[in-house]
Amino acid sequence: MTAGTDTAGLMDAIYQNQRYFYDLTRKYYLLGRDHLINQLDVPEGGTVLELGCGTGRNLIAAAKRYPSAQFFGLDISDQMLATARKNIEKAGYSNRIKLIQGDASNAPAVSGFGPDAYSRVFYSYTLSMMPIWREALQTGLANLSGEGKISIVDFGQQERLPSWFRGLLFKWLNGFHVTPRADLQSELSSLAEVHSADLKFAPLYRGYAVYAELRRR
Ligand SMILES: C[S@@+](CC[C@H](N)C(=O)[O-])C[C@H]1O[C@@H](n2cnc3c(N)ncnc32)[C@H](O)[C@@H]1O
């Protein structure tokens, strides 16, 4: 099962106007993205893939942080990719960041685009937006190198925040087709077992966000 063309149309519709003020507004509530970038710990000359790269904000920040690495971004929305291309060019990283349109839940969408396997694959506030997020995790694993690492940051379950806040936030996110994944930890635990990987899973900001890593042994 893959997301299909309906998802591409839906994402384009959501982002066709928002992409112009996306980075300005999201910095206040897509928390933990810089934490993920700092923890990527990309090896010298490594390769990094972001699935659902949006405006390219994370790829640009990561390219600054890891100057010897090459970066690759996939997104289903042509609208977001148009903004990402402009941002990457403006930042002067067109030679180090490559983009492709595709569906993250379809593993072959990535093939032939970058290297056969990536040192790092990451998801930043995308699994909560993909109804078939489990398949998107499979895409990451299928394209990860032998000693690679998958990193994830996304909305948490707000477990240490007031219940009214959780109620309001979840209702608001629903309007953007965003569903924080309550079973993300259990899915990652199963994948860790099947793929002989070590799992790190930690709440950030009192459970507002979660940060996770799956590292192959
Ligand atoms: C909330 S944005 C996050 C963008 C970026 N990762 C960030 O942290 O700013 C979610 C992104 O996921 C993309 N997306 C949603 N479903 C997708 C899919 N099935 N395949 C690839 N990208 C998808 C959207 O187009 C959008 O750019």
* Boundaries of domain holding 20: 3-216
Would the CB of 57 count as within 6 Å of ligand 1? yes
* Residues 103/2, Cβ–Cβ less than 8 Å: yes
How many angstroms separate the alpha carbon of residue 127 from the centre of ligand 1?
8
217 residues of the chain, pLDDT tens digit each: 566 668 888 888 888 888 887 887 788 889 999 999 999 999 999 999 999 999 999 999 999 999 999 999 999 999 999 999 999 999 999 999 999 999 999 988 888 889 999 999 999 999 999 989 999 999 999 999 998 999 999 999 999 999 999 999 999 999 989 999 999 999 999 999 999 999 999 999 999 999 999 998 8
Tokens encoding 55: 């405006």
Rounded Cα gap, residues 166 and 132, in angstroms: 23
Q: Greatest CA span in the chain, whole angstroms?
A: 47
Say what the pTM is: 0.94
CATH at 113? 3.40.50.150
Q: Give the pLDDT confidence score for residue 22 in this predicted structure.
A: 81
* Residues 205/153, Cβ–Cβ less than 8 Å: no
| DSSP assignment of 151-193 | EEEEE---TTS-HHHHHHHHHHHHTTT----TTHHHHHHHHHH
Place of tokens 């949006």: 54
Element (H, E) at 204: strand 197-204
Task: Name the residue with the closest Cα to ligand 1, atom 10.
Answer: 126
Q: Give the pLDDT confidence score for residue 151 in this predicted structure.
A: 98
In the chain, how many domains are there?
1
Would the CB of 40 count as within 6 Å of ligand 1? no
Q: Among 37, 129, 176, which residue has the most ligand 1 atoms within 8 Å of its CB, making it the best to mutate?
A: 129
**Between 4-18 and 78-91, two packed helices, what is the crossing angle to 10 degrees?**
50
Please report, for residues 53, 83, 210, the alpha-carbon distance to residue 4 in angstroms, rounded to integers and kept in the order given: 18, 22, 27
Task: Name the residue with the closest Cα to ligand 1, atom 1.
Answer: 125
